[in-house]
Structure 1
Amino acid sequence: MANILVVGPHPDDQELGMGGTIAKMASLGHDVLLLDITDGEPTPYGDPVTRAGEADAAAKILSPDPAEHPGGKPVRRVTIGLQNRLVEHTIAARHAVAGVMRAHQSDVVFAPYFEDAHPDHRAVTRIVEDARFDAKLTKLEMPTPQGMTPGQACYPRWLFYYYATHLRWVADPSFLMDITGFLDRKLESIRAYRTQFVLPEKNRGVVEWVEASGRYFGSRIGVTHAEPFFTKEPVGLSDLGVLVGL
């Protein structure tokens, strides 16, 4: 099983972009860790305590039911506490993320797609890309998040990009993940962020849009629901049997 790190600039980005994949991977027994770079505040209806509670609730929703998935693992969540709206690509930020990668011994890392209107999103993706390299450097100490044990230098094998962009365009992904059976859990995890998608009237249509997106991308590969991803590096297949539809 793989250690999967999903990095979000703000709590809710991971759920919006790949909540179905998170739920599916956790149900299969992979170790999924969500890293929030900021606490997402300030926002019009939120505050740090409320937002943290929403983020914890969302992670629980994405975690598998032991009765349904006895081999599953709960989705965990950590933060490094950079300031929302002011995220910058710095060495300190890179090393903070690299410290999480080491402590988690991440095999696969997901980051936001690199083209985005939101400066925090663009900065976080640059931070993650460089942190992946920094994490493998020996004789260089990295900070360890509270509650985690320091880990050895490592180099996550894969870096994939999910779409939670503020640009008004349709993703052109490298591959699609079949999330049939997990979309409802994704939508529920998004609704857990009441301060973002329930209380603000202008954002209440987001859940409906996410549902429509899941149906659209699912139709592209002949399944009910799917999520799009991008990769800059080639993905290797050992068997065509892993392809959907074969």
Structure 2
Amino acid sequence: MKLDILAFGAHPDDVELGCGATLAKEIASGKKVGIIDLTRGELGTRGTAETRDEEAEAASKILGASIRINMEFADGFFVNDKKHQLEIIKMIRKYKPEIVLCNAIFDRHIDHGKGSNLVSDACFLSGLLKIDTKFDEDDEVWQDPWRPKQVYHYIQWQPIEPDFVVDVSNFMTKKTEAVMAYKTQFYNPKSNAPETPISSKNFTDSVEYRAKDLGRLVGVAYGEGFTVERYPVVNSVFDLK
């Protein structure tokens, strides 16, 4: 299956928090979108790897993603090396996305910056002819090189200044629903689980008020921001809003 967009997150819920409304908007317009989680979030204070698996599946159904895969890399300890890059390259070559979305270039959680660099490097390497990969070892056919046209990084904990903002005004409800599918992770006044930076009501509220603030800056109700690796090109200055 060829995908239009492949969104990567270091942990289940990164994609929903960072670009869930953008994905929902593109899916509604007919684009095929996939999500790949690098880890199962097994080091998370609240919940378990098993509950995160269930929550990720529920969130995917809400967004309408075509596929969701977990790479099962070690939460907190995966690195940007050849072994991990090759595994990501196999996914890029299998699904041939036009656009890849991935973690913030730097952030509070160490996995976010690592995941950003890992995916970004793999996107470049995936286009090199002399790197040989098979999706499965038993496959008879080698994968063809593939390099996405663009790699964009969504914004997470740190208030990074975006290079562009997507108008997601009609898709915040869908995003919020997908985020809150992670019942073990976010605000629940009845929960006895230990408190974390993302389990507070302030953090849950921030999902909306940060989108409102980005929207305010560009003159729409809600926005999601992204940073770029290379300058986007337009045919005309009138293509810019």
| TM-score range for the pair, normalised by the shorter chain length | 0.7 to 0.9
The equivalent position to 1:222 in structure 2, one of 190, 204, 219, is 219
Residues in 2 aligned to 1:236 and 1:120: alpha-carbon distance in whole angstroms: 31
Quick one: structure 1 residues 150 and 184, their matched pair in 2 at CA, closer, same or farther if it must change by over 3 Å? Answer: farther
Residues in 2 aligned to 1:157 and 1:176: alpha-carbon distance in whole angstroms: 18
1:58 corresponds to which residue?
A: 59
1:33 corresponds to which residue?
A: 34
Give the RMSD, CA atoms, in angstroms.
2.3
* Unaligned 5+ runs, structure 2: none
Equivalent residues in 2 for 1:140-159 (5 A)?
140-142=131-133, 144=135, 151-159=143-151
Q: Helix, strand or coil for the counterpart of 2:111? A: helix
1:163 corresponds to which residue?
A: 155
Single out whichever of 112-121 and 219-228 deviates more from structure 2.
112-121
Quick one: structure 1 residues 239 and 140, their matched pair in 2 at CA, closer, same or farther if it must change by over 3 Å? Answer: same
Letter in 1 for 2:40: D
Residue 242 of structure 1: CA displacement?
4.1
Does the Cα contact within 8 Å between 1:111 and 1:159 map onto a contact in 2? Answer: yes
Residues in 2 aligned to 1:240 and 1:207: alpha-carbon distance in whole angstroms: 37
Deviations 1:114-167 (A, max 9, x none): 122322112111111210121112243335379xx97421111101110123x4
1:104 corresponds to which residue?
A: 95
Letter in 2 for 1:152: D
1:8 corresponds to which residue?
A: 9
Q: Helix, strand or coil for the counterpart of 2:185? A: helix
Does the Cα contact within 8 Å between 2:3 and 2:34 map onto a contact in 1? Answer: no
Q: Helix, strand or coil for the counterpart of 1:230? A: strand
Letter in 1 for 2:227: F
Does the Cα contact within 8 Å between 2:132 and 2:142 map onto a contact in 1? Answer: no
2:128 corresponds to which residue?
A: 137
Residues in 2 aligned to 1:235 and 1:223: alpha-carbon distance in whole angstroms: 21
TM-score by length of 2: 0.88
Does the Cα contact within 8 Å between 1:80 and 1:145 map onto a contact in 2? Answer: no
Letter in 2 for 1:235: P
* Unaligned 5+ runs, structure 1: 64-73
TM-score by length of 1: 0.86
1:209 corresponds to which residue?
A: 206
Residues in 2 aligned to 1:23 and 1:129: alpha-carbon distance in whole angstroms: 23
Residues in 1 aligned to 2:50 and 2:102: alpha-carbon distance in whole angstroms: 25
Letter in 2 for 1:16: L
Does the Cα contact within 8 Å between 1:62 and 1:75 map onto a contact in 2? Answer: no
Does the Cα contact within 8 Å between 1:114 and 1:121 map onto a contact in 2? Answer: yes
Residue 176 of structure 1: CA displacement?
0.3
Residue 112 of structure 1: CA displacement?
1.3
Does the Cα contact within 8 Å between 2:11 and 2:41 map onto a contact in 1? Answer: yes
